[in-house]
Amino acid sequence: MVSLEVLAKLCNACGVAGREEEVRSLMRKLLKPYVDEVKEDKLGSVIGIKEGGKNAPKVMLAGHMDEIGLLVKTISKEGYLQFAKIGGIDDRVLLAQKVMVFTEKGPLHGIIGSKPPHIQKEDERKRAITYDELFIDIGAGSQEEANKMGVRIGDVVEFDVKFAAINKDIVIGKAFDDRVGCAAMIEAVKRLEKTECTVYAVGTVQEEVGARGATTSAFGIYPDVGLALDVTVAGDIPGVKEVDAPTKLKKGPSLTIADSSHISHPKVLRLLTEAAEENKIPYQLEAGLPGGTDAGRISLAKEGVPSCSICIPTRYIHSPTSLLSLTDVENTVKLTVAAVKKIPKYF
């Protein structure tokens, strides 16, 4: 099983896209015992290298370190913070959230405020409030006071949510997208011990804004195979049709056949399904859903890299708190390990 302590640490860390420092230093520490070398590329992706045999194929595993979040855009005269969104966030989940504003003087508590219902006009009550009508209240009385508290334009804001286990299998928390992919990747590298392939375990930056870290790291590594470990929408909730989100919790990792940015390479897909079946690892398939992962950008490096995504079913992704099953995480690790071992037979 993935260590709960590791998963909690990774999820509680701050790493809004482009500001992954805290997660990066954690990833370096967590990968170090299981790889021969840890490097960074110039955009900040962490690369753990586990040397394989001479002329053996190179596999790039990618888990993105960044998460969705907010940035301080302006500080009003009255001391309220207006914000920009980083990554795909539904405006409707922002209202009344507790947040942390990371300033140079340390983190500050805040709340996303809006007009209370009592004083809203009829039409305001009927529609969803958009993010640009909201503000973060840090209790400052003026712009000057906010500045004195350490707030600057561009400071990162995160949802104030702590990791928790509901029972032995179900956990809830922030940033499962994609710290759970990072945790699964670390566990897979740990279990691989000696491998024929050379494994590059990459904690990528800026996935949520266009898989930018995967673009540069895949260019540098130019692997023979790319596997993105990420999350996908678990659609087993009220009001969701199977055709819109067929992946379910506790049914194993979902292999993405096609999404908005990528069509999985048939050889990699076959490698994964065979590895799953030989090892009796449950898996699901999804095709034609919107969204994308690092696999899309890895596949376009230089002359191309056969790639696929292995996704952990997760409910409520891109909202402040998500929910997932540790059994799915375990099966994702098992499948990744089994697939990496099979690569030399295919590539």
Q: Does 328 bind Zn ion (CB under 5 A)?
A: no
**Shortest distance, CB of residue 150 to Zn ion, whole angstroms?**
30
Judge whether 20 and 66 are in contact, CB under 8 Å.
yes
By beta-carbon proximity to Zn ion, the closer residue of 62 and 81 is 62
Cβ-closest position to Zn ion:
178
Q: For residue 177, what are the β-bridge partners?
A: none
d(CA 47, CA 200): 6
Q: Does 330 bind Zn ion (CB under 5 A)?
A: no
By beta-carbon proximity to Zn ion, the closer residue of 230 and 259 is 230
Q: Does 20 bind Zn ion (CB under 5 A)?
A: no
The phi and psi torsions of 6 (rounded to 5 degrees) equal: -65, -45
Alpha helices per DSSP H over 149-263: 176-192, 212-221
d(CA 256, CA 81): 39
Q: Which residue of the set 67, 158, 187, 207 is catalytic? A: 207
Q: Binding segment for Zn ion among 176-184, 185-193, 280-288, 335-343 (CB under 5 A)?
A: 176-184
**Shortest distance, CB of residue 289 to Zn ion, whole angstroms?**
13
Could you report how far apart the first and last alpha carbons of the chain are, in Å?
Answer: 29
**Active site annotation includes 207:** yes
By beta-carbon proximity to Zn ion, the closer residue of 158 and 178 is 178
**Shortest distance, CB of residue 334 to Zn ion, whole angstroms?**
21
Q: Does 66 bind Zn ion (CB under 5 A)?
A: no
Name the token pair of 325.
């099953």
Classify burial at 21, counting beta carbons within 10 Å of its beta carbon; exposed 0-12, middle 13-18, buried 19 or more. Answer: middle
Q: Write the single-letter amino acid at 247.
A: T
Judge whether 140 and 146 are in contact, CB under 8 Å.
yes
**Shortest distance, CB of residue 311 to Zn ion, whole angstroms?**
8
Binding residues for Zn ion restricted to 249-278, rule: CB under 5 A: none
Mask of contacts with Zn ion, 212-231, x by CB under 5 A?
A: ------------------x-
**Shortest distance, CB of residue 208 to Zn ion, whole angstroms?**
7
Judge whether 176 and 322 are in contact, CB under 8 Å.
yes
DSSP state of 93: G
The residue within the footprint of Zn ion, chosen from 66, 67, 178, 224 (CB under 5 A), is 178
By beta-carbon proximity to Zn ion, the closer residue of 68 and 301 is 68
Binding site for Zn ion (CB under 5 A): 177-178, 230
Active site residues: 207
